[in-house]
Amino acid sequence: MHKKENLYYPSEEVKKNANINNEEVYNKGGEDPISFWEERANDIVWREKWKESFSHNPPYFSWFSGGKLNITESFLDANKESDKTAVLFLPEPEEEGEKKISYKELYKEVNRFANALKSAGVKKGDPVGIYMPMIPEAVVAMLACARIGAMHTVVFSAFSSSALRIRMQDTSAKVLITADGYYRGGRVNNLKESADEGVKETSIEKVVVANRVNNEVSLNEKDVWWSDFIKDQPDELEAQEMDSEDPMFILYTSGSTGKPKGVIHTCGGYAVQTKATAKMIFDMKEDDIFWSMADIGWITGHTYTVYAPLICGATMVLFEGVPNWPQADRWASIIDDYKVSIFYTAPTAIRMFKMQTKEVKNELSSLRILGSVGEPIDEVSWEWFFREVGKERCPVVDTWWQTETGGVLITSLPGVGPFRPTFTGRPLPGVKFDILDSEGNSVPANKEGDLVIMPPFTPGMLRGLYKNEEKYIKTYFTEHGESIFYTSDTAYKDDNGLVRIVGRADDVIKVAGHRLTTGELENAITKNESVAECAVAGIKDEIKGEVPVAFLVLKEEREKEELHEEIAEKLRKDIGPIALIKNIYIVSDIPKTRSGKMMRRVIKKLFTGEDLGDLSTLSNPESVEILKEAIKKDE
């Protein structure tokens, strides 16, 4: 890599081997995005070619309708005789050693489990819950759903039983796949207990339990061990034929009122976009060993931990544990020991690695490409990642996307560049985007505005919110009209057209890259009997990027520590440990507009020292001083 002024460019070596190494693809994608994506669509296996590439009936759109396929045929059937490793499982306890699952074995395992699901009555279009740790059975479960055309609905294993219950109630799933537990940071977690709680008051009739840690579990009437569930099931099964626009999976993401939104992705477009983006952005090839650290509970876990490496015929690293445990540099040893060639992680992890390991002793010579996702990365961390991990050799792709977009839409391509720390880069070829002011005009370079995606959108973007059409329209297709997808991110372009993401314009906060909304936290906190009013804001954190704090107006006098503990416990129970609240401030009033809306923008600025802006819309401007004092008292 070489640097010219504030930009980095790929070296000749990187360019020579890259799938894409010149501007031509940008020209093609810019001129005619539809034919650009059509060309990419020819790179996956279809049973029948699509009839219509793109159609738009605002705010709805479709890609490749009439095309018939099953995503698993592109990699399971295509490689069913191959002994090459598909899944390289690295358990947390090192003494267990790695487990390799070849494409051939994966084909059989998925078919066995898919046959078992069918025998249990699961049909095309049925939702199936998956509440599992990072173990091979989780991958098999997801692929088995895809194989029979059932919609997997993965719930992050660190989410609480209440979070699981809300999602299962919303989908009305009849089957849940889980595990007895998992290892994390040296502790054995009892996942089955949470699953037992979570399926109460849902329509779940069967719970399949994988044995991971030999936890003592009580098997209830609904429960069946994974091994019994697949017993005597044949390892052959013809994949269910799906229409390109049939739903493939639902993934819930935080909603503002506490009720999560079920984002729907469809079969054809998702498969096409996943393969195309993996090849463009990660330069993925069949001999790559790709380690995406994201948990399967998040969209990155779906698209880039599971589907991307498989659909490219590469090897996926599936890591169960914590990357800096038991040694701070375990992640680096893994890269060296298993010759990881592409490493995809998040700024929070990078900041943690940097704090613990200033100079990385490992060679890391197998690495070709580094990636970052989920939250803005600061310049110091970017430089450290580039220098200490990539050894100034590897391009760093800072990938911008969302649960809703299904795959990366903005980043510089490794063989083209340029790369500018803290800027995610250019939109991908085939992606039409803009940055708009509140009147809907494109803003000039270096001016902030709303990041939007323009028609024809992209094949892998969401097609709806499960059973919530109104919210789909309101959230994405109202702010700038029904033909423009609003991302809820604020961004600007530099003079070279590289995009910098400033952050969310709505009430989403990113805690260690995990998406939460202030509304869902407030919802849980106000259930506390002592709390009359509550406002949550995300404030800057050295490691996690952002962390939530809460301002509380109380009904009665309470001791702060004790109340903080109660609230923390409630958040753990309602959401999970990621909802850990950093601080609470007990105040007598909270800034509100005349219509009673909490002014989070003002609250946030109290911590950054920024100018508070116009306070004339507040009904109680004196409350700002009350908050200031509470913060000061606590410093």
Interface residues toward ligand PRX, by CB under 6 A: 253, 299-300, 373-376, 398-403, 424, 487, 489, 501, 504, 510, 515
SS3 assignment, position 247: strand
Contacts of 286 (CB under 8 A, 6+ apart): 312, 313, 314
| Least gap, CB of 375 to ligand PRX (angstroms) | 5
Interhelix angle for 560-574 vs 161-171, to 10°?
Answer: 40
Shorter beta-carbon distance to ligand PRX: residue 502 or 532: 502
| Least gap, CB of 593 to ligand PRX (angstroms) | 24
SS3 assignment, position 266: strand
| Least gap, CB of 423 to ligand PRX (angstroms) | 9
| Least gap, CB of 631 to ligand PRX (angstroms) | 25
Tokens of 445: 């370079």
> Cα separation of 429 and 270, whole Å?
17
Report angle CA 427, 432, 433 to the nearest 5 degrees.
Answer: 70
Interhelix angle for 33-41 vs 267-281, to 10°?
Answer: 90
Q: Cα(first)–Cα(last) distance of the chain, in Å?
A: 44
From 132, 158, 128, 120, select the one nearest 146 (Cα to Cα).
Answer: 128
Shorter beta-carbon distance to ligand PRX: residue 152 or 510: 510
Are the C-beta atoms of 510 and 501 separated by less than 8 Å? no
Shorter beta-carbon distance to ligand PRX: residue 154 or 230: 154
Shorter beta-carbon distance to ligand PRX: residue 285 or 500: 500
Residues linked to residue 4 through DSSP beta bridges, in sequence order: 7
Tokens of 581: 């609240």
| Least gap, CB of 400 to ligand PRX (angstroms) | 4
| Least gap, CB of 359 to ligand PRX (angstroms) | 26
Shorter beta-carbon distance to ligand PRX: residue 153 or 487: 487
Shorter beta-carbon distance to ligand PRX: residue 191 or 299: 299
| Least gap, CB of 215 to ligand PRX (angstroms) | 30
Residue type, 234: P
* DSSP percent split of the chain into helix, strand, coil, nearest 5: 30, 25, 40
Shorter beta-carbon distance to ligand PRX: residue 347 or 591: 347
Shorter beta-carbon distance to ligand PRX: residue 504 or 592: 504
Shorter beta-carbon distance to ligand PRX: residue 162 or 517: 517
User: DSSP letters along 511-551, please?
Assistant: ETTEEEEHHHHHHHHTTSTTEEEEEEEEEEETTTEEEEEEE
Half-sphere exposure of 143 (CA within 13 A, CB side): 29
**Sheet containing strand 464-465, strands side by side:** 223-225, 206-210, 175-179, 127-131, 151-154, 247-253, 261-266, 464-465
| Least gap, CB of 568 to ligand PRX (angstroms) | 23
| Least gap, CB of 55 to ligand PRX (angstroms) | 26
CB atoms within 10 A of CB 44: 20
Helical (H) or strand (E) element with 603: helix 600-608
| Least gap, CB of 456 to ligand PRX (angstroms) | 21
| Least gap, CB of 319 to ligand PRX (angstroms) | 18
Tokens of 384: 């450290």
| Least gap, CB of 282 to ligand PRX (angstroms) | 14
From 250, 254, 270, select the one nearest 262 (Cα to Cα).
Answer: 250
Contacts of 368 (CB under 8 A, 6+ apart): 14, 283, 288, 341, 342, 394
| Least gap, CB of 451 to ligand PRX (angstroms) | 8
Are the C-beta atoms of 111 and 157 separated by less than 8 Å? no
Shorter beta-carbon distance to ligand PRX: residue 375 or 574: 375
Secondary structure of 36-98 in the HEC alphabet? Answer: HHHHHHCCCCCCECCCEEEEEECCEEEEEECCEECHHHHCCHHHCCCCCEEEEEECCCHHHCC
| Least gap, CB of 469 to ligand PRX (angstroms) | 20
From 339, 277, 361, select the one nearest 43 (Cα to Cα).
Answer: 277
Contacts of 556 (CB under 8 A, 6+ apart): 530
Shorter beta-carbon distance to ligand PRX: residue 134 or 373: 373
| Least gap, CB of 404 to ligand PRX (angstroms) | 7
Shorter beta-carbon distance to ligand PRX: residue 130 or 462: 462
From 45, 268, 241, 254, select the one nearest 125 (Cα to Cα).
Answer: 241
Are the C-beta atoms of 119 and 166 separated by less than 8 Å? no
| Least gap, CB of 303 to ligand PRX (angstroms) | 8
